[in-house]
Amino acid sequence: MPYKRILVDGVKHYGKHVILTAGGCNPALLEKSKIAEFCKDMVVRIDMVPFGEPFVERFGGGDEVGISAVQLIQTSAITIHTNDEARDMYLDVFSCKDFDAATVIKTVEDWFSPKSIVSETLLRK
């Protein structure tokens, strides 16, 4: 299948999905404009092509207030959910074009200086 273009150990996959949780981020996590700029920077760093501008909104109630953002890319999407109170970020980067998972982690570190990061990379068949 020619649309499966990520090759790992001789097996073709449809896409790569990095799932990341960053805990205890700096105050930049609380700013919609910083989240939007982060999305744009992530697109560049992982060598993707954006589709439109990032959509970024704050909503929720009580201890569940946070920002959600979506940056469509030509090969899928980058999605973010945050929690203002804990300063936690939940990030998903999915693409059928290969990218470096370590670059995703480094970009989060550069922008938000989290106290902790947990991530996993899934290959979608």
CATH number corresponding to 16-124: 3.60.90.10
Which of 41, 23, 42 is CA-nearest to residue 92? 42
Per-residue pLDDT at 23? 98
CA distance 107 to 105: 5
**Site of tokens 């693409």:** 95
81-113: per-residue pLDDT in tens? 999 999 999 999 999 999 999 999 999 999 999
**Residue ranges of domains in the chain:** 16-124
Three-state SS annotation for the chain: CCCCCEEECCEEECEEEEEEEEECCCHHHHCHHHHHHHHHHHHHHCCCCECCCCEEEEECCHHHCEEEEEEEECCEEEEEEEECCCCEEEEEEEECCCCCHHHHHHHHHHHHCCCEEEEEEEEEC
Per-residue pLDDT at 3? 84
Greatest extent of the chain over all pairs of C-alpha atoms, in Å = 49
18-50: per-residue pLDDT in tens? 999 999 999 999 999 999 999 999 999 999 999
Per-residue pLDDT at 1? 72
